[in-house]
Amino acid sequence: MNFETFFDIYMRPNGRDVLQRDGIEFKYAAASLMIACSKADMDEDPREREAVTQILQDAFDITQHTIERLLTFADSASAEEYLSVITRLVNEQFSDSDKRFILEKLWMVAHADGHIHDREVDFMHRLAADINMTEVDVDAARKLASHALNSV
């Protein structure tokens, strides 16, 4: 199944309401952005993939089978030409609070290999601009992610 068909079936919202975190559309969008973040430094470190899996389990309380489906989709959806579709969905259908939530989880993925690469920082700032988040939002999300990781 190609991206467009999958998007139309599983992600395209039925209405103009804000998507809820427990909805499948939200989960697919979040997974896609996390996978894209893990690839942003051009080094697909297995620790980042593990972090994505763990975040999806913790944040959304979903089964391993569903996570595998999310990750399979996210691998193809993380391509640059598809990210614009996903960021448009996030921008139009996610609340500001949920956008900040996603930014925090993305920073956790970026931290997973032990250091933040310049390309990951660039990815975060570009994504934040695409979803109408500010530098303050990006910095706050980074601090929250760092605090969450240090308290584990």
Tens digits of residue pLDDT in 94-137:
899 999 999 999 999 888 888 888 988 999 999 999 999 999 99
DSSP assignment, residue 17?
A: S
Per-residue pLDDT, averaged over 20-40, amounts to: 80
On the 0-12 / 13-18 / 19+ scale of CB atoms within 10 A, 17 is exposed
Instruction: Flag the least confident range among 16-25, 29-38, 67-76, 121-130.
Output: 16-25
CATH topology of domain 20-150: TerB-like (1.10.3680)
User: Can you give the pLDDT at residue 140?
Assistant: 96
DSSP string, 40-54: TTS---HHHHHHHHH
Locate the domains of the chain by residue range.
20-150
Residue 42: HSE in the Cβ half-sphere, 13 Å Cα cutoff: 3
Cα separation, 132 vs 134, in Å, equals 7
Say whether 39 sits in a helix, a strand or coil. helix
> What sign does the CA torsion over 58, 10, 106, 139 have?
negative
The candidate with the shortest Cα–Cα distance to 29, out of 101, 83, 110, is 83
Which helix (H) or strand (E) segment holds residue 63: the answer is none
* 81 or 27, higher pLDDT: 27
| CB under 8 A, 24+ apart: contacts of 50-57 | 50/112, 51/108, 51/109, 51/111, 51/112, 52/109, 55/105, 55/108, 55/109, 56/27, 56/30, 56/31
